[in-house]
Structure 1
């Protein structure tokens, strides 16, 4: 019984996590969410540098959309987590180095991603040896 509740909770977290990443990825293509007006100058400078590399944001956006979609479905969740992992590392590092105000939510999403990866660890073992 506990396993059933755990899998339902994991599904809800994975669904919300995946939808958030799909939304973030789509925003990189369609720019429908405005940038916060209270970003510190250091973060604005970093975002401008990311935008200067013309292919970087579309690549990250595509990874977010694909990874987010795959994480929602239990059968492809392990692959989605692998795709999102480097993006999540970048999000956490950016929030540590540039502006720590977004760090709490970045850490929550990191914990969700780690939980997803731990739950799918059996699928990763063949990759290690």
Structure 2
């Protein structure tokens, strides 16, 4: 089970590192948007600091998540991003839930697996 967790955590981390880098380098193609998605994309684009902030959190969270020693911290750092991805997909692109849902589940699994490390924060 430890090997499965390690493989999933590294892949999860790499996915977010890639997504974070793309926020700065723009190397992945963006599919054409229409309707409500176009409005959302335009709204996000008007907030100049938003995507760089999300990209930085994705990079940091992905790096922390991929490294076993910092995985518990990475899981907390990246949690708001994964929740946002799931909510965005649930509202605007339900077909994306096939990827977003498992990402959130992996994130929650790592948080649950490291729950003893968070006790000091909530006591």
TM over 0.5: yes
> Residue 69 of structure 1 is aligned with which of 63, 73, 76?
63
**How much has 1:40 moved relative to structure 2?**
4.4
Per-residue deviation, 1:44 = 2.2
Q: Which residue of 2 aligns with 1:28?
A: 23
Q: Residue 29 of structure 2: SS of its match in structure 1?
A: coil
Q: CA RMSD in A?
A: 1.0
Task: Give the unaligned 5+ runs of structure 2.
Answer: none
Hey, what's the Cα distance between the residues in 2 that align with 1:63 and 1:26? 10
Question: 1:44, 1:83 → 2: CA distance?
Answer: 28
Counting only pairs closer than 5 Å after superposition, residues 37-52 of structure 1 correspond to structure 2 as 37=32, 39-52=33-46
TM-score (norm 1): 0.91
Structure 1 unaligned segments of length 5 or more: list them: 1-5
Q: What TM-score do the two structures reach when normalised by structure 2? A: 0.95
Structure 1: distance between partners of 2:41 and 2:103: 21
1:9-39: CA deviation from partner (whole Å, max 9, x where unpaired)? 10000000000000000000010001123x4
Match of 1:118? 112
Aligned twin of 1:94 = 88
CA contact (8 A) 1:40 1:99 kept: no
